[in-house]
């Protein structure tokens, strides 16, 4: 059955590959980024915005509802990282990281969940809707130099688990994935010795791949996963 999927941060990296993967499966994907679309597909809709801009997010979700009448899945992929010692971290960097990683995710959860809750009574299945957030292994590993980034993702973990409780009456599951480093622009400025140190802390000592992320997302959105919510799944053998 064709699903309406909202994915944030779709211009490049994991967000783009997730979008292309679900478009190939004949789903409708509604994506966004600060820049113009990098995906050309008849089932793709692109919105140019900052995920922390409340009115832009509200208008995007309203437009999606107007065209498709519902939203089945939200994947909060958009995120930024920064690696600085606490003593040399500008407040502006803290604001930027939390605006994108936390406030952006919150706004999309709130607005998409409104649409899901409105259409829930029309569905026949008990838990038809899915929200998936992105955390990181940097949170449970408490990596030096990533205090602010890890803190923003720790907030996502807490948000995910509480949202799972608050949204379950509306047929919505809410889970999060914590990827290990995947070679994308997100980690291009992280020093090699820091990446190597992180990989050595994993049970499986390799970079993550997009297919690893897709596997977990597929699991969370599967219809048979309607009893799974409030979970944070870390890749690579990291214990949260």
46-50 CB contacts, 8 Å cutoff, 24+ apart: 46/10, 50/99, 50/104
Contacts of 176 (CB under 8 A, 6+ apart): 132, 133, 134, 135, 156, 157, 160, 231, 232, 233
What integer pLDDT is reported at residue 198 of this predicted model? Answer: 74
On whether the CB atoms of residues 176 and 234 are closer than 8 A, the answer is: no
What would the pLDDT profile of 19-76 be if each residue is shown by its tens digit?
999 999 999 999 999 999 999 999 999 999 999 999 999 999 999 999 999 999 999 9
Strand intervals (E) in 52-139 = 73-76, 129-134
Q: In the structure, what pLDDT confidence band is assigned to residue 138 with cuts at 50, 70 and 90? A: confident
- Whether this prediction's pTM lies above 0.75 is answered by yes
Return the CA Rg of the chain: 17
Tell me the CA distances in angstroms from 161 to 115, 155, 221, 235, one per residue in order.
Answer: 20, 10, 17, 18
Q: What is the dihedral of CA 140, 147, 131, 205, to 10 degrees?
A: -40
Instruction: State yes or no: pLDDT of 240 exceeds 60.
Output: no
What would the pLDDT profile of 185-225 be if each residue is shown by its tens digit?
656 666 677 777 777 777 788 777 999 999 999 999 999 99
Nearest-CA neighbor of 6 among 48, 55, 60?
60
* Structural domains for the chain: 4-234 (3.40.50.720)
On whether the CB atoms of residues 160 and 232 are closer than 8 A, the answer is: yes
What integer pLDDT is reported at residue 81 of this predicted model? Answer: 85
């Amino acid at each position: 059955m064709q699903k309406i999927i909202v994915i944030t941060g779709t211009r490049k990296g994991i967000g783009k590959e997730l979008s292309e993967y679900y478009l190939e499966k004949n789903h409708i994907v509604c994506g966004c980024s600060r820049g113009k679309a990098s995906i050309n597909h008849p089932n793709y809709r692109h919105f140019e915005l900052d995920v922390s801009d409340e009115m832009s997010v509200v208008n995007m979700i309203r437009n999606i509802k107007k065209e498709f009448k519902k939203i089945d899945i939200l994947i909060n992929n958009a995120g930024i990282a920064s690696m600085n010692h606490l003593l040399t971290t500008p407040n502006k960097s803290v604001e930027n990281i939390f605006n994108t990683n936390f406030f952006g995710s919150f706004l999309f959860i709130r607005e998409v969940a409104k649409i899901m809750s409105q259409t829930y009574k029309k569905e026949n299945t008990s838990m038809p809707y899915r929200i998936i957030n992105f955390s990181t292994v940097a949170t449970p590993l408490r990596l030096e130099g990533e205090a602010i980034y890890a803190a923003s993702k720790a907030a996502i973990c807490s948000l995910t688990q509480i949202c799972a409780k608050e949204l379950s009456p509306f047929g919505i599951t809410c889970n999060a994935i914590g990827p290990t480093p995947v070679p994308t622009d997100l980690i291009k400025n992280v020093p090699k010795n820091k990446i190597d140190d992180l990989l050595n802390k994993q049970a499986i000592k390799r970079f993550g791949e997009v297919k690893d992320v897709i596997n977990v997302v597929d699991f969370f959105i599967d219809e048979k996963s309607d009893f799974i919510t409030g979970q944070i799944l870390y890749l690579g053998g990291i214990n949260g």
